[in-house]
Amino acid sequence: MTAPARVAENERPAAAEALDVERLRASFPILDQEVHGHPLVYLDNAASSQRPEAVIEAVSDCYRTYYSNAHRGVHALSERSTDEYEAARGKVARFVGAARSSELVFTRGTTESLNLVAQSYARPRLRPGDEVLLTEMEHHSNIVPWQLVCEQTGARVRAAPITDDGDLDLAAMAGLVGERTRVVALAHVSNALGTVNDVAAIARLVRDRSEAAVVVDGAQAVPHMKVDVSALGCDFYAFSGHKMYGPGGVGALWGRGALLAAMPPYHGGGAMITRVTFERSEYTVPPHRFEAGTPSIAPAIGLGVAVEFLESIGLERIERHEQALLSHSLEQLNDLPWVQVLGQPRDGGSPRAAVVSLVIDGAHPHDVATILDEQGIAIRAGHHCAQPLMERLGVPATVRASFGMYNTHEEVDRLVSGLHEVRRIFG
């Protein structure tokens, strides 16, 4: 039994080593600065992460040396841009475990990916009385597109409940999946609580009870854990470049090839057709059918470099490091009687990704954010675009610290001492 394990370790020696965070931080130029006279502590990664030099350089290199429109020209620059753009698609597709790169559509981000599924997959299928099942922990971007398509079709949105601990209530969810359920859309990881939903188990649960498609908002999962869409058993998986150390303005939708092939276009325009007359147009095959107009070429190429960067470090190592940060922060925060961490992990419950959401007795999250900012600590205060979740938790807003691979234990300590300063002022 020990021999195979040793072989596996030898194959990936890097995975066993701890993350060299100081070396990693040197790859992120933005981290080396002071804010209000203090070294920056960036704990707003769930809103948007920072980019390593390699990604910045790749985007810059594209614009400096070979940028042109892709899929258009026969000239040398266009050919190079097309090659790099399609190579990036292949890298991102492999990164999430897609069987074919044609199943990977570049979009502007998770929001556009989810709107695409709502309009091109769901809209033609939904009938009055049909149901789209969401969960109480969804981000607005996985609620509003479904409300729009339900208004258009007469279908209705339902929401699976969460427990008081912030886990999805799977038994209750199972009871809500039935023959009218056409779509089940859920976050892989909650942006507000960090709850990691067991997508594979939920996909099985859905398949046992319905024909519904399983649509996953993976924006908060992809930068923090190894994602393999074929193992998850879902039908669509959406994510954003800017949360995974890549450029803004680009994201992706993975969809099962057979489903994508049967879907009408989302936007009409150039590059998504084979033939256009004023009477009718014929649409090209996926993924280009869903990429009308000139895409975000340089950002997509940058995203390809971002996934190479993540792979070079290793998602397992990143996850281990971030879990250590999470434990370190929970140990300290749970010792403070005036801090309440919302939806923190329980034994036997769902795991959490690198997010801590908290409230402080007698101090509104917005005031906490200002006081932390004065100490150079960037966190998010507010409803985190998850107002139904805030209502469920009975709070108007929370303070959210979200970790990335470059955060340190010392930064967690800075956060905790920053909260003590809040306590001193608001006492």
Query: Quick check: 295 binds another protein (CB under 8 A)?
Result: no
How far is Cα 224 from Cα 245, in angstroms, rounded to an integer?
Answer: 11
Binding region for another protein (CB under 8 A) out of 96-104, 245-253, 321-329, 361-369: 361-369
Residues 271 and 292: beta-carbon distance below 8 Å: yes
Residues in a beta bridge with 196: 189
| Number of chain residues interacting with another protein (CB under 8 A) | 20
Binding region for another protein (CB under 8 A) out of 67-75, 87-95, 379-387, 404-412: 379-387
Query: Quick check: 365 binds another protein (CB under 8 A)?
Result: yes
Task: Choose between 338 and 426: whose C-beta lies nearer to another protein.
Answer: 426
Task: Choose between 114 and 372: whose C-beta lies nearer to another protein.
Answer: 372
Pick from 47, 71, 396, 408 the residue near another protein by CB under 8 A.
396
Report which residue type is found at 230: S
Pick from 173, 363, 415, 416 the residue near another protein by CB under 8 A.
363
How far is Cα 388 from Cα 396, in angstroms, rounded to an integer?
Answer: 10
CB of 192 to another protein, least distance (A): 13
Query: Quick check: 88 binds another protein (CB under 8 A)?
Result: no
H or E stretch covering 230: helix 229-232
Query: Quick check: 286 binds another protein (CB under 8 A)?
Result: no
Pick from 370, 409, 410, 420 the residue near another protein by CB under 8 A.
370
Query: Quick check: 193 binds another protein (CB under 8 A)?
Result: no
CB of 262 to another protein, least distance (A): 38
Q: What are phi and psi of 288, to 5 degrees?
A: -65, -25
Residues 167 and 350: beta-carbon distance below 8 Å: yes
Binding region for another protein (CB under 8 A) out of 85-93, 119-127, 350-358, 363-371: 363-371
Task: Choose between 60 and 370: whose C-beta lies nearer to another protein.
Answer: 370
Structure tokens at 378: 């960037």
Report which residue type is found at 191: N
CB of 193 to another protein, least distance (A): 17
How far is Cα 118 from Cα 106, in angstroms, rounded to an integer?
Answer: 16
CB of 370 to another protein, least distance (A): 6
Pick from 387, 392, 408, 413 the residue near another protein by CB under 8 A.
387
Residues 6 or more apart whose CB falls under 8 angstroms from that of 398 comprise 192, 342, 357, 358, 359, 365, 381, 382, 383, 384, 390
Pick from 371, 401, 412, 419 the residue near another protein by CB under 8 A.
371
Query: Quick check: 362 binds another protein (CB under 8 A)?
Result: yes
Residues 6 or more apart whose CB falls under 8 angstroms from that of 343 comprise 165, 166, 167, 190, 192, 193, 194, 195, 352, 357, 393
Q: Is 385 a catalytic residue?
A: yes
Pick from 332, 374, 392, 408 the residue near another protein by CB under 8 A.
374
Task: Choose between 168 and 385: whose C-beta lies nearer to another protein.
Answer: 385
Query: Quick check: 364 binds another protein (CB under 8 A)?
Result: yes
Binding region for another protein (CB under 8 A) out of 166-174, 190-198, 298-306, 364-372: 364-372
Structure tokens at 332: 């300290």
Pick from 91, 242, 321, 383 the residue near another protein by CB under 8 A.
383
How far is Cα 135 from Cα 168, in angstroms, rounded to an integer?
Answer: 8
H or E stretch covering 132: strand 131-135
CB of 396 to another protein, least distance (A): 5
Pick from 231, 261, 276, 425 the residue near another protein by CB under 8 A.
425
Catalytic residue among 62, 150, 234, 385: 385
Residues 246 and 374: beta-carbon distance below 8 Å: no
Query: Quick check: 397 binds another protein (CB under 8 A)?
Result: yes
Specify the 3-state DSSP secondary structure of 215.
strand
Enumerate residues 6-65 that contact another protein by CB under 8 A.
Answer: 36-37
125-161: b (≥16 Cβ within 10 Å) or e: ebeeebbbbbbbbbbbbbbbbbeebbeebebbbbbbe
- For residue 236, count other CB atoms closer than 10 A to its CB: 26
Annotated catalytic sites, by residue?
385
Binding site for another protein (CB under 8 A): 36-37, 362-367, 370-371, 374, 381-383, 387, 390, 396-397, 425-426
